[in-house]
């Protein structure tokens, strides 16, 4: 398609989604859950076709010399199909809050003021790599009474096409407009720019991807954006940390899976934490193939470490590399996170209650943890069923964005004919 054709195509998709949104918001929870059940059946019944199409994307990724971590993000296997299914089941089980009212207050004037939870309307989802986002986003959108326009990356186009067909077929089987969930089928980047200009029809844009994608969307969009920035997550081992907890949480945070935004990329250690234990933790990372890039103190303690440069402290590696900083105290640790972190997820390992409270209050990230692996920063693990992204913004949606993040509140005012004097 040329630019004019892309403009017309994207515009038509947005118009159709806008029209469908007027219907989507009227659906009962029973009807919405029926669609999710039908999608679950579609995933189970079409595994062979899903694997076949995904194999095309994996082959292309290898030919294009993509990293192992990025190829891992692309992969759909039986375990990940089951994860998608589990996510949809959990979304189904979440109590429906649409059009429920709260915060009821009767005013002296005679009016009663409440707030009602309502769908956002039309969501534009722009994402890279992971095809499971197609299912998670569609499931959350349907459950929350929204419509969604999906624009995945070119590297996952075959996977996204087969998954979106399962979703649209499920909508059709439930006698619902297929335009409630649409996939932009062209991989031309001009489609993204066109989507960002459709403020007449789209209510919010949610991007998931690298810094360059998020920056482009934030700069170009005429539509409000819920940003999912990079995950430079930190684990801070305090002087009062228990060794086994420090070891287990550090290893799991970094090595359980490399190519994800909630993997730890930076390790901070109090200078009074025993050196012998520091060496054991760094040795354990090294034995798992993780390269240690440390400050001068780290390098003096652990000879295998590579001297870190300034850029390392900012880096989301998404590979077996971790930066390590030895600090004088908890204040230095918090300041390091404030300067170099991405406000995603940061964890303190300590048994000191005062240090725990200080860290929770002063680290300004969307998820702050105590004695816990950063890998738990995930909508599924938080009981949301799935997430549409992890917002690092300071808006109504912060952290893993589930159903509540895809709705907002409007005021409802009632009275018995009261007029203002």
CA–CA separation, 167 and 149 (whole Å): 12
How much is the pLDDT for 344? 94
List, in sequence order, every residue forming a beta bridge with 414; answer none if it has no partner: 112
> With 0-12 CB in 10 A as exposed, 13-18 as middle and 19+ as buried, what is 386?
buried
CA–CA separation, 190 and 12 (whole Å): 15
> Is 333 within 8 Å of 236 (Cβ atoms)?
yes
Residues contacting residue 209 through CB under 8 Å, at least 6 positions apart: 126, 127, 128, 129, 153, 228
Rounded to the nearest 10 degrees, how much is the dihedral formed by the CA atoms of 207, 211, 398, 147?
A: 0
> Is 388 within 8 Å of 125 (Cβ atoms)?
yes
Extended beta strands in 53-121, E state: 101-106, 112-119
> Is 123 within 8 Å of 201 (Cβ atoms)?
no
Q: DSSP assignment, residue 130? A: -
pLDDT tens-place values along the chain, 421 residues long: 899 999 999 999 999 999 999 999 999 999 999 999 999 999 999 999 999 999 999 999 999 999 888 899 899 999 999 999 999 999 999 999 999 999 999 999 999 999 999 999 999 999 988 899 999 999 999 999 999 999 999 999 999 999 999 999 999 999 999 999 999 999 999 999 999 999 999 999 999 877 788 888 999 999 999 887 789 999 999 999 999 999 999 999 999 999 889 999 999 999 999 999 999 999 999 999 999 999 999 999 999 999 999 999 999 999 999 999 999 999 999 999 999 999 999 999 999 999 999 999 999 999 999 999 999 999 889 887 778 888 888 778 888 888 889 999 999 999 999 999 8
> Is 355 within 8 Å of 240 (Cβ atoms)?
yes
Q: Tell me the helices (H) and strands (E) count for the chain, helix number first.
A: 15, 16
**Element housing 124 (H / E):** strand 122-127
How much is the pLDDT for 11? 97
- Pairing status of strand 233-237 against strand 264-270: parallel
* Domains contained in the chain, CATH given: 3-226+401-414 (3.40.605.10), 233-376 (3.40.309.10)
Residues contacting residue 264 through CB under 8 Å, at least 6 positions apart: 233, 234, 235, 250, 253, 254, 322, 347, 374
Nearest to 225 by CA among 393, 87, 64: 393
* The model's pTM: 0.84
Hey, is 55 helix, strand or coil? helix
How much is the pLDDT for 67? 87
How much is the pLDDT for 64? 93
How much is the pLDDT for 366? 92
Dihedral over Cα of 226, 227, 228, 231: its sign: negative
The Cα-based distances of 355 to 89, 241, 273, 333, 359 in angstroms read 38, 10, 14, 11, 6
């Amino acid at each position: 398609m040329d630019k004019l054709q892309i403009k017309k195509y994207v515009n038509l998709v947005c118009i159709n989604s806008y029209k469908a949104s007027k219907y989507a918001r009227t659906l009962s929870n029973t009807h919405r859950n029926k669609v999710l059940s039908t999608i679950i059946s579609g995933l189970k019944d079409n595994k062979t076709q899903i694997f076949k199409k995904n194999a095309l994307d994996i082959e292309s990724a290898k030919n294009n010399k993509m990293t192992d971590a990025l190829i891992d993000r692309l992969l759909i296997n039986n375990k990940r199909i089951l994860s998608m299914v589990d996510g949809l089941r959990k979304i189904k089980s979440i109590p429906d809050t649409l059009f429920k009212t709260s915060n009821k207050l009767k005013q002296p004037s005679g009016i009663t003021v409440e707030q009602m939870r309502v769908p956002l309307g039309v969501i534009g989802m722009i994402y890279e790599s992971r095809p499971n986002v197609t299912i998670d986003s569609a499931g959350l959108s349907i459950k929350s009474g929204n419509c969604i326009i999906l624009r995945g990356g070119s590297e996952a186009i075959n996977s996204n096409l087969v998954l979106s067909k399962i979703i649209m077929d499920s909508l059709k089987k439930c006698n619902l407009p297929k335009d409630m969930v649409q996939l932009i089928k062209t991989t031309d980047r001009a489609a993204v720019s066109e989507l960002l200009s459709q403020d007449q029809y789209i209510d919010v844009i949610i991007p998931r991807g690298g810094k360059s994608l998020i920056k482009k969307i934030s700069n170009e969009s005429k539509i409000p954006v819920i940003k999912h920035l990079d995950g430079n997550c930190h684990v801070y081992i305090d002087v009062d940390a228990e060794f086994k907890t420090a070891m287990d949480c550090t290893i799991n945070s970094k090595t359980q899976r490399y190519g994800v935004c909630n993997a730890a990329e930076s390790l901070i250690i109090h200078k009074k934490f025993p050196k012998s234990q520091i060496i054991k933790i760094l040795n354990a990372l090294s034995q798992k193939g993780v390269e240690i890039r440390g400050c001068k103190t780290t390098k003096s303690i652990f000879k295998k470490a590579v001297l870190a440069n300034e850029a390392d402290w900012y880096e989301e590696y998404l590979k077996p590399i971790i930066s390590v900083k030895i600090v004088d105290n908890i204040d230095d640790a918090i300041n390091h996170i404030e300067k170099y972190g991405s406000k995603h997820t940061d964890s303190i390992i300590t048994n000191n209650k005062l240090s725990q409270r200080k860290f929770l209050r002063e680290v300004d990230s969307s998820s702050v943890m105590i004695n816990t692996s950063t890998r738990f920063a995930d909508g599924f693990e938080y009981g949301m069923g799935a997430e549409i992204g992890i917002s690092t913004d300071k808006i109504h949606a912060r952290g893993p964005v589930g159903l509540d993040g895809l709705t907002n509140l409007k005021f409802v005012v009632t009275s018995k004919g009261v007029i203002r004097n």
